[in-house]
A and B are shown apart, each in its own frame.
Chain A
Amino acid sequence: DVKVTQSSRYLVKRTGEKVFLECVQDMDHENMFWYRQDPGLGLRLIYFSYDVKMKEKGDIPEGYSVSREKKERFSLILESASTNQTSMYLCASSLSQGTYEQYFGPGTRLTVT
Chain B
Amino acid sequence: GEDVEQSLFLSVREGDSSVINCTYTDSSSTYLYWYKQEPGAGLQLLTYIFSNMDMKQDQRLTVLLNKKDKHLSLRIADTQTGDSAIYFCAEDAGNMLTFGGGTRLMVKP
Contact = CB atoms under 8 A, between A and B. Distances in A.
A5 B107 CA distance: 30
Interface residues of A, number: 24
Interface string B23-41: 0000000110101000011
A100 B42 contact: no
A41 B95 contact: no
Interface in B11-62: 30-31, 33, 35, 40-45, 48
Contacts of A94: 95
Interface stretch (A12-20, A65-73, A74-82, A101-109): A101-109
Contacts of A48: 96
Contacts, number: 52
A8 B105 CA distance: 27
Listed residue (A4, A90, A102, A103) with the most chain B CB atoms within 10 angstroms of its CB: A102
Nearest to B44: A104
A25 interface: no
Listed residue (A31, A43, A50) with the most chain B CB atoms within 10 angstroms of its CB: A43
A107 B97 contact: no
Contacts of A42: 88, 99-102
A52 interface: no
Contacts of B95: 31, 50, 94, 96, 100
Contacts of B92: 100
Interface of A: 4, 31, 33, 40-43, 45, 48, 50, 90, 92, 94, 96, 99-107, 109
13 contacts: A4-B42, A40-B8, A40-B101, A43-B88, A48-B96, A92-B42, A96-B95, A100-B92, A100-B96, A100-B97, A102-B43, A104-B44, A106-B42
